[in-house]
Structure 1
Amino acid sequence: MATAKKSCAKAGGVRFSEEPHAAGASSHVHFDEKLHDSVVMVTPEDDGNFLVKVGFLKTQHRYEIVFTLPEIPALGKNVCPAPLPGPHLRISDITPAQEGGLKITCEYITQHEGVLCEEVMLLSETNDDVCVKVKVHARVMDRHHGTPMLLEGVRCIGPELEYDSEQSDWQGFD
């Protein structure tokens, strides 16, 4: 019994060049424009906080993430990170951005596989009542499943050393 194949048309994706190839000429793959979202995405939330999507990362690695927040008048000009950062995400630098707003540089250590969301807080140095929460959203894949293409604004600093008790040379107590 023969089975009929269904053809499904998909919007977007990859299309191949239809130009005839000369001997030794390389072939070209063209990606639709909407697939070029290769920068860190900053989205304001209804409550005045921000969601920052940094794309795919690899477990057991340290990353530098740079993004720009729009101007936040309530925070004022003097902004600092909350004094107690989380164990995996910390702000290393806050500077005024050339185009306005704040350029934030973070360091993120990935520990677990999955869709992760870490938070940092920005505080006003002039108004104790004002703070803005920044949630960093990442899709973290196992370190044995290849290398992700990093978004513009994300840089891998290097792998984190993994503690393995079997490799310890400690002899124990006598």
Structure 2
Amino acid sequence: MATAKKSCAKTGGVRFSEDHHHPHHHAAGVSSHVHFEEKLHDSVVMVMPEEDGNFMVKVGFLKTQHKYEIIFTLPEVPALGKNVCPAPVPNPHLRITNLTPQPDGGLRVTCEYMAHQEGVLCEEMLLLSETNEDVCVKVKVHARVMDRHHGTPMLLEGVRCIGVELEYDSEQSDWQGFD
């Protein structure tokens, strides 16, 4: 039974032709247009629907010990309805502060995210329908978090720093100081 389910998991995928990347198909001007769009695409928070109806939100590079406000819009999920609320599942690093239905049926999500450790982090939040208790949508916030001493990342559109945690107590630090 598990193998049958596994083989079905990949069906329904969409493949896009990559002819525009083929060296023989470059027309004058097309190349720069494609690169411009890719650059534009990389500067905003990306919301990607997953096959199971949930969403992955890529928020780019952040710094440890910094708190960020992240704003993004999810496409319409008809099953959720208009009245949506965050699930009462405590997550110490990710908290929804506002949900606003959009005129096109989408949902504008505002959340606070505490980048608590270095690495590629994925925090989850659940959105619930207030009218149908069986419906919930999982939103995974995916961030690449760098050490607070390694420079300042260029934040994506939709992400802004709203606070910095204080340094740890110096007695707990393993820093040896300058020679």
TM range (shorter): 0.7 to 0.9
- SS, match of residue 171 in structure 2: helix
- SS, match of residue 100 in structure 1: coil
Establish whether residue 126 from structure 1 lines up as the match of residue 126 from structure 2: no
Name the amino acid aligned to 1:150.
L
- Give the counterpart of 1:35 among 34, 39, 59: 39
- SS, match of residue 111 in structure 2: strand
Q: Offset of 1:73 from its aligned partner? A: 0.7
Q: What residue is the counterpart of 1:137 in the other structure?
A: 142
Q: Give the Cα separation in 1 of the matches to 2:100 and 2:143.
A: 23
Q: Where does the alignment leave 5 or more consecutive residues of structure 2 unmatched?
A: 1-20, 22-34, 173-179
Question: Radius of gyration: which is bigger?
Answer: 1
Deviation readout 1:70-122 (Å, 9 max, x if unpaired): 11111111000011231100100000124430000000001100000000000
Establish whether residue 161 from structure 1 lines up as the match of residue 166 from structure 2: yes
Name the amino acid aligned to 2:102.
A
More helix per residue: 1 or 2?
A: 2
Q: Give the Cα separation in 2 of the matches to 1:67 and 1:151.
A: 11
Name the amino acid aligned to 1:91.
I
Segments of 4+ in structure 1 off by > 4 A? none
Establish whether residue 45 from structure 1 lines up as the match of residue 45 from structure 2: no
Establish whether residue 90 from structure 1 lines up as the match of residue 95 from structure 2: yes
Q: What residue is the counterpart of 1:29 in the other structure?
A: none
Q: Give the Cα separation in 1 of the matches to 2:165 and 2:103.
A: 33
Deviation readout 1:113-163 (Å, 9 max, x if unpaired): 000000000001111111000000000000000000000000000211243
Q: Offset of 1:165 from its aligned partner? A: 5.8
- SS, match of residue 152 in structure 2: coil
Could you say if the C-alpha distance between residues 160 and 98 of structure 1 is closer, same or farther in structure 2, counting changes exceeding 3 Å?
Answer: farther
**What is the CA RMSD across the aligned residues, in angstroms?**
1.5
Q: How does 1:102-117 map to 2 (within 5 A)?
A: 102-117=107-122
- SS, match of residue 57 in structure 1: strand
Q: How many residues align?
A: 137
- SS, match of residue 35 in structure 1: helix
Percent identity for Structure 1 against Structure 2: 78
Deviation readout 1:4-28 (Å, 9 max, x if unpaired): xxxxxxx9xxxxxxxxxxxxxxxxx
Name the amino acid aligned to 1:132.
V
